[in-house]
């Protein structure tokens, strides 16, 4: 039985091996031959002696009984089972597959409904990292909740941290052969997508996103997340009307990791490194730089990054934003994940020449609570909740 939270689907199948199917077929042919022989004997009954007829009837009865047993015995092995590769929710762990792990480990079943009644009942992809130039296989399991009046297309994207697709496949469900107007309510459909990873894709974590859109016009359907796992896992609805199924590591040539951690913010985030690309702007120009963050554990909140240009009398200029211009909030970060982010601070045109300090920090927007610093690298200037990125000289 495939369990999809409050929706239950039972798919019945014959639990027969190839040999059992062959034996059943032979038995049925033999049974048909017995009945044909009995009919011939009945027609020619006048030419056969009564004793011989009795022997033929007894032998025919025995053959019929044996054929029935052979034909019907395998059919007694009916069992309720999901399609190949499907597991019952909640999500199986690798420990459940001790000897023969399947190619696809379906994700936790969640109530994600698109439009008229397309329920995403499950999903999965091959485990482990993928390589540039290789393939990524994503399986979706759909359940029609009611008859649909319109045909929709499904997209599966491998996207970067900005949400931009780096590999994608768009088509009607089930290889294009099963339009949504032909779905039978309650029927579970297996829908496979094979994406080609670009050969020049840099190493890193990438997002696996899926969604549904109208074939006429291309408007995306708003996904509705009706239930979530107890641990807060499972798919997440994104602002672009896509569902984040999870992440996959693209592993190319080994890159260099930052050798040190500049500072830790609480027990959730660390600032690994930072770079300034313009430390001597004129009034009216911009200060540009990059920050490299790492999640020490999965953050509990969507934190906002702030970068302040400080003068003798306080803040001269500032920029506040969520990572990647809001496209990759911190609650999407996995433990150990490294995320690069850029910033631009506009220097006011009336800023007096002189030296200023550029500092950065994090806060939770709802409460305006700042994260306090823990360990700070030796030689780095810091306050209890900000780290100095460097000195800026306004010309």
pLDDT value, residue 12: 34
CA atoms within 13 A on the CB side of 26: 8
Going by C-beta distance under 8 Å and a sequence separation of 6 or more, which residues neighbour residue 158?
136, 165, 166, 167, 168, 195, 197, 206, 207, 208, 248
172 and 303 share one domain: no
304 and 348 share one domain: yes
Quote the CA–CA distance of 131 and 40 in Å, as a whole number: 69
7 in a structural domain:
no
How many domains is the chain built from? 3
pTM of the model: 0.58
pLDDT(79) > 60: no
Quote the CA–CA distance of 317 and 343 in Å, as a whole number: 12
38 in a structural domain:
yes
Q: Measuring CA to CA, which residue among 294, 195, 202, 200 is closest to residue 245? A: 195
pLDDT value, residue 37: 54
Quote the CA–CA distance of 364 and 361 in Å, as a whole number: 11
Q: Is the peptide bond before 90 cis (omega within 30 degrees of 0)?
A: yes
108 and 244 share one domain: yes
Total Cβ atoms within 10 A of residue 369: 13
352 in a structural domain:
yes
**Residue-wise pLDDT tens digits, 349-366:** 999 999 999 999 999 999
Higher pLDDT, 118 or 73: 118
336 in a structural domain:
yes
340 in a structural domain:
yes
**Residue-wise pLDDT tens digits, 338-350:** 888 999 999 999 9
Tell me which residue range forms the domain holding 296: 263-394
Grade residue 222 by pLDDT with cuts at 50, 70 and 90: very high
Phi and psi of 158, rounded to 5°?
-100, 110
213 and 104 share one domain: yes
**Residue-wise pLDDT tens digits, 104-122:** 334 554 579 998 889 998 8
257 in a structural domain:
no
106 and 220 share one domain: yes
State which of 25, 50, 78 marks the end of a domain.
78
Quote the CA–CA distance of 365 and 240 in Å, as a whole number: 21
Domain with 334 in it: what CATH number? 2.60.40.770
Total Cβ atoms within 10 A of residue 141: 24
Quote the CA–CA distance of 206 and 157 in Å, as a whole number: 10
User: Per-residue pLDDT averaged across 7-36, rounded?
Assistant: 48
Task: Let me know: does 67 contact 27? Beta carbons within 8 Å.
Answer: yes
Grade residue 389 by pLDDT with cuts at 50, 70 and 90: very high
212-219 LR contacts (CB < 8 Å, sep 24+): 212/114, 212/115, 212/118, 212/152, 212/153, 212/154, 212/155, 213/152, 213/153, 213/155, 214/150, 214/152, 214/153, 215/150, 215/151, 215/152, 215/153, 215/172
pLDDT value, residue 184: 93
**Residue-wise pLDDT tens digits, 168-206:** 999 999 988 899 999 999 999 999 999 999 988 888 889
């Amino acid at each position: 039985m495939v369990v999809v939270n409050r929706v239950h689907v039972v798919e019945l199948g014959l639990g027969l091996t190839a040999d059992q199917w062959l034996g059943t077929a032979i038995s049925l042919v033999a049974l048909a031959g017995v009945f044909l022989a009995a009919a011939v004997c009945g027609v020619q009954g006048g030419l056969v002696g009564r004793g011989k007829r009795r022997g033929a009837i007894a032998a025919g009865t025995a053959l019929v009984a044996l054929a029935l047993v052979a034909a019907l015995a395998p059919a007694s092995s009916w069992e309720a089972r999901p399609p190949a590769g499907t597991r019952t929710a909640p999500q199986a762990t690798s420990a459940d597959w001790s000897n023969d792990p399947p190619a696809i480990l379906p994700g936790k079943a969640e109530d994600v409904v698109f439009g008229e009644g397309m329920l995403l009942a499950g999903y999965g992809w091959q485990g482990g990292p993928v390589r540039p130039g290789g393939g990524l296989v994503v399986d979706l399991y759909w359940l029609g909740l009611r008859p649909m009046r319109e045909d929709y297309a499904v997209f599966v994207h491998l996207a970067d941290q900005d949400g931009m697709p780096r590999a994608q496949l768009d088509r009607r469900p089930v290889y294009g052969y099963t339009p949504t107007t032909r779905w039978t309510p309650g029927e579970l459909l297996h829908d496979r997508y094979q994406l080609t990873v670009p050969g020049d894709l840099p190493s890193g974590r990438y997002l696996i996103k899926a969604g549904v859109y109208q074939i006429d016009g291309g408007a995306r359907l708003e996904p509705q997340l009706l239930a979530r796992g107890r641990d807060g896992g499972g798919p997440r609805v994104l602002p672009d009307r896509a569902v984040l199924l999870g992440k996959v590591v693209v592993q190319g040539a080994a890159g260099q990791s930052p050798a040190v951690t500049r500072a830790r913010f609480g027990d959730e985030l660390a600032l690994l490194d930072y770079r300034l690309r313009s430390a001597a702007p004129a009034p009216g120009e911009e200060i540009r730089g990059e920050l490299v963050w790492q999640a020490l554990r999965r953050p509990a909140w969507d934190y906002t990054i702030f970068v302040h240009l400080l003068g003798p009398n306080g803040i001269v200029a500032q920029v506040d934003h969520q990572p990647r211009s809001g496209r990759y909030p911190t609650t999407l970060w996995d433990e150990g994940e490294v995320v690069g982010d850029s910033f631009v601070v506009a220097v006011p045109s009336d800023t007096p020449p002189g030296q200023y300090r550029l500092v950065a920090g994090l806060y939770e927007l709802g409460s305006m609570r700042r994260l306090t610093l823990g360990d700070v690298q030796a030689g780095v200037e810091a306050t209890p909740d900000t780290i100095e990125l460097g000195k800026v000289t306004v010309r």
